[in-house]
């Protein structure tokens, strides 16, 4: 058995070992048996996807920081208070 990257027809997976399950029932087992090295070496879409994750994480981090900022939280509290008070007030007639 080789390391993580071997030159044989089947790449050795250190997470599975010598006896892989016939059918991986759990998500963790499916994740462990997925041929990561094969996809990294032989598919077109895998490397660009990994590269694209870096800016995606940065953008999502910035959006999350902005959406949970104290000023934005206060703004949405006011908006929800206005919406709910207008909708559930006795003056509101939906008929």
Confidence of residue 69 (pLDDT cuts 50, 70, 90): very high
Query: Tens of pLDDT along 1-25?
Result: 445 555 455 556 666 666 777 787 8
Tokens at 5, concatenated: 């990257």
Task: Identify whether the C-beta of residue 21 lies closer than 8 Å to the C-beta of residue 33.
Answer: yes
Q: How do residues 34-44 score in pLDDT, each as one tens digit?
A: 888 888 888 89
Contact in structure between 24 and 35 (CB atoms under 8 Å) = no
- pTM of the predicted model as reported, rounded to 2 decimal places: 0.53
CA distances for 35 relative to 39, 57, 79, angstroms: 6, 24, 49
49-53, 61-65, 85-89: range with lowest mean pLDDT: 85-89
């Amino acid at each position: 058995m080789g390391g993580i990257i071997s030159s044989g027809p089947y790449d050795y997976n250190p997470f599975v070992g010598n006896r892989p399950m016939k059918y991986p029932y759990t998500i963790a087992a499916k994740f462990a048996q997925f041929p990561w090295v094969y996809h990294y070496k032989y598919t077109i879409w895998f490397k660009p996807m990994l590269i694209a994750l870096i800016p995606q994480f940065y953008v999502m981090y910035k959006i999350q920081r902005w959406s949970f900022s104290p000023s934005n939280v206060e703004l949405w509290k006011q908006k929800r208070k206005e919406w709910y008070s207008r909708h559930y007030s006795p003056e509101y007639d939906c008929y």
